[in-house]
Amino acid sequence: MAYEKEIGKRKTFAIISHPDAGKTTLTEKFLLFGGQIQTAGAVKSNKIKKTAASDFMEIEKQRGISVATSVMSFEYKGTLVNILDTPGHKDFAEDTYRTLTAVDSVILVIDCVKGVEEQTERLMEVCRMRQTPVIVFINKMDRDGKDPFDLLDELEEKLNIHVHPMSWPINGGSEFKGVYLLHDKSLNLFESSKTKISDDVVKLNDLNDPQIDVLVGEKNANKLRDDAELIDGVYGELNKTEYMHANIAPVFFGSALNNFGIQELLDTFITIAPTPLPRPTASRQVDPMEQKFTGFIFKIHANLDPKHRDRIAFLRVCSGRFERNKPYEHTRLDKQLRFANPYTFLAQSKEVVDYAYPGDVVGLYDTGNFKIGDTLTEGEDLQFKGIPSFSPEIFRELINLDPMKSKQLDKGIEQLTDEGLASLFKQDLGSRRFVGTVGELQFEVLQYRLEHEYGAKCRFEHRAIHKACWMSGDAEAIKEFMKFRMTNIAMDKDGQPVFLAETAFILRMAQENNPKIQFHTTSEFKV
């Protein structure tokens, strides 16, 4: 029973959004409500000279964006909440996609001024593919933005999901008065405060209460009554089953920067969000209630502490109880590993834990054993499925600018690509290395981190490569093709041959001339 109780109190989720929607700020405010931090800073706040708690890499502090997933835990009203704050920038979408494999639900942050943006649509596609339950938080209501009804229509149309408003704003921008909580008939009056929690909530019997006219003005009160009647007629009660099946998304309105609308969101989240869910493997479904431990690595981060050359692998516990110093089977390497100092995280700070349960994310000190997607068990030969790896869109050749630092550069590019920041392709012919990414900013981050964390200077030279294609099919045909196209063949990090096609035409010709070979533009999870 104690084991089941531990699982039942855990909620693990990711916060996702388009850049600048306020995702990292919302994460920080959750920590404020959870009592983990005493004052809240903002990524771009000029009044409070403090970077966001979850942005700890130097380049993140300089640019005011999140480029790596941060993992944080806190307790709130008897629930242990594990937050994974993800990068919003599209150039780091791969990190976000992988993170979504390690969570049970998602909070999607929308900027009320900009509405649904392209990156938001891509993130929701991944959520729908995995049937991940979603709660929407419409942020920045203290700014002049879109009409709330228009925002609901936009969410349904662009994200292909039904919505269900749980709170409703009274005006917006400079006239923003607060939100009415539809589910418990209470009024939360807006008070601008970046550092403290507002508790100005008025309980009402119904919307005809004359108190409302006094608090928000007669005109606003009448509009709220009309809006609430319309919403009740259209949406009715929230169907929690449909939410769990990712068909309906509850919607909240507020201002993360001003700590407003956060508590209602958090209270609803801990009530309706799923506890740890089953996870698929190549051979069977793993249920969190199983007694034997299983888990998988969904992220690797080198140099979490720049003063110490550490490399942390992030493990999602899927079943059983993870124990410190107990040996576990690394199924890909077929060897036993034990961990003397497993960590839980509050952004940069770490705390050694003796036990972890399904839903928990644990940091494991790694000397190079792990790759993204690796599975740990108590002996069973399992491989968790669905850790996505994406075909790069931009390719550059890595050029060493300091031959005296070759070892540092080799180590740095190996470790940073192990994190999933980019794909690395090696060519024996001339010892060339090609780096593939989904965006230009990743090269800037790679270059910065290689210099500042490894002391290795390099540059990235453009190379005309259209796609990296993995090959399957007739072994002899692949061998003959590789011999013929030697200058276009490289090896990925797992030692698998990859065809680097310079143009779409060359790829099409290769496909037509080699019917016995299948060319794959995505590197699927390898066992």
Instruction: Using DSSP bridges, classify how beta strands 105-111 and 423-427 pair: parallel, antiparallel or unpaired.
Output: unpaired
Name the pLDDT band for 200 (thresholds 50, 70, 90): low
Query: Is 2-95+103-272 in CATH node 1.10.10.60?
Result: no
Closest to 296 measured CA to CA, from 378, 389, 374: 374
The least confident of 145-149, 313-317, 421-425, 476-480 is: 421-425
Q: Is 182 left (phi over 0), alpha (psi -120 to 50) or beta?
A: alpha
Own/partner pairs, 242-247, CB within 8 angstroms, 24+ separation = 242/162, 243/133, 243/164, 243/272, 244/133, 244/272, 244/274, 245/131, 245/133, 246/127, 246/128, 246/131, 246/132, 246/133, 246/134, 246/161, 247/161, 247/162
pTM: 0.76
Q: Looking at domain 279-377, which of 3.20.20.110, 3.40.640.10, 3.40.50.300, 3.90.226.10 is its CATH number? A: 3.40.50.300
Name the pLDDT band for 36 (thresholds 50, 70, 90): low
Contacts of 86 (CB under 8 A, 6+ apart): 14, 15, 16, 23, 66, 69, 95, 96, 99
Q: In the numeric block, which tokens belong to residue 361?
A: 């994310």
CATH class in words for 394-520: alpha beta
Name the pLDDT band for 297 (thresholds 50, 70, 90): very high
Domain with CATH 3.30.70.3280 in the chain: 394-520
Closest to 364 measured CA to CA, from 391, 337, 383, 384: 337
Contacts of 210 (CB under 8 A, 6+ apart): none
Phi then psi for residue 438, to 5 deg, are -100, -5
Name the pLDDT band for 94 (thresholds 50, 70, 90): low
Name the pLDDT band for 29 (thresholds 50, 70, 90): confident
Domain with CATH 3.40.50.300 in the chain: 2-95+103-272, 279-377
Residue pair 397/497 in contact (Cβ under 8 Å)? The answer is no
Q: What is the pLDDT of residues 248-280, one digit of tens each?
A: 999 999 998 888 888 889 999 999 999 999 999
Mean pLDDT, the chain, integer: 83
Residue pair 200/188 in contact (Cβ under 8 Å)? The answer is yes
